Amino acid sequence: MELTKRPRRLRMDGRVRDMIRETRISKKSLIYPIFVEEGENIIREIAEMPGQKRYSPDTLPYALEEAAGAGVQSIMFFGVPKHKDECGSQAYDPHGIIQETMRIAKKEVPELLYIGDVCMCEYTSHGHCGIIKGDSVDNDKTLPLLAKTAVSQVEAGADMVAPSDMMDGRIGVIRRALDEAGYIDTPIMSYAAKYASAFYGPFRNAAGSDNFKGNRKTYQMDWHNRREALKEVDMDLEEGADIIMVKPALSYLDIIRETRDRSPVPVAAYSVSGEYAMIKAAGARGLIDEKAVIAETATSIYRAGAELLITYFAKEIAEMIDEGRIG
């Protein structure tokens, strides 16, 4: 049989497969989310997310050193305060849980890069991502508080801020506030295409933001829509976003691809709590090879176009890179 084209030629030798691999994953591109709870001596298992924990600021260095030891270089913090109110004042309190966490992290493990999640949902008594007016979130009244939150996090030591609220215009407002405060070099990672997803369930329990009434569909995106995501991306780019994020990841690989094709800035994807919980549950029951599925799903996100991956599996992926199972 005369075949001039034989794709298998490049698959026969493992060294050749490694040499021509199209998608490569680096530990430097991984971002590990950590939940920090106000209090002391806390290392609390998160039942909805096996293997993940809440830490208090004083026990946090243990988790940071563990992540750094695995080769993870970037951390994103989510705060769980004791006190919540209508306006989420602990989000922008100079001595709030995230602000104190940043100070401790920068002192104890300064080599890591720290990203502050900028939102109100963990801090409001109603659980929504902004100031409530009637039955909805008041977009424009929320913006100054988001800007205040971002500035307070950077003042406390954050290397980057990541607004996740999905209010219109928040990137521009936060950029101006940071610049006016003298933080012109602090990057903004925008949750640009954030969908109103059912995959967030375990996170809301873990972060204590599951107390809201109604839903977040007036500000998070309808998961039927593709063009709307590109509009959100374009708006955030115009307002000064330095990194664009798509969230969730696995059900939105098409959005990651289209975002990568049009974005002049780096693209991040957030593999969210529901994705994590499903893999852990199936692995615990012996239904899948857990490590193999972690490797395959992470690779699919990078293959779709993500250059940065926010994932609760960051440490496992870093270890698999060392083992040669991924990357």
Residues annotated as catalytic (active site), given as ranges: 194, 247
216 assigned ligand-binding residue: yes
Q: Which residue, among 167, 218, 229, has the nearest Cα to 196 in the 3D structure?
A: 218
273 assigned ligand-binding residue: yes
Residues 120/91, Cβ–Cβ less than 8 Å: yes
Q: Backbone phi, then psi, for 238, in 5-degree steps?
A: -65, -35
191 assigned ligand-binding residue: no
312 assigned ligand-binding residue: yes
CA distance 313 to 317: 6
87 assigned ligand-binding residue: no
Contacts of residue 137, defined as CB under 8 A and 6 or more positions apart, other chains included, come to 128, 129, 130, 131, 167, 218, 219
6 assigned ligand-binding residue: no
Binding-site residues for 5-aminolevulinate, in ranges, read 204, 216, 273, 312
Binding-site residues, in ranges, read 119, 121, 129, 204, 216, 232, 273, 312
Binding-site residues for Mg(2+), in ranges, read 232
Binding-site residues for Zn(2+), in ranges, read 119, 121, 129
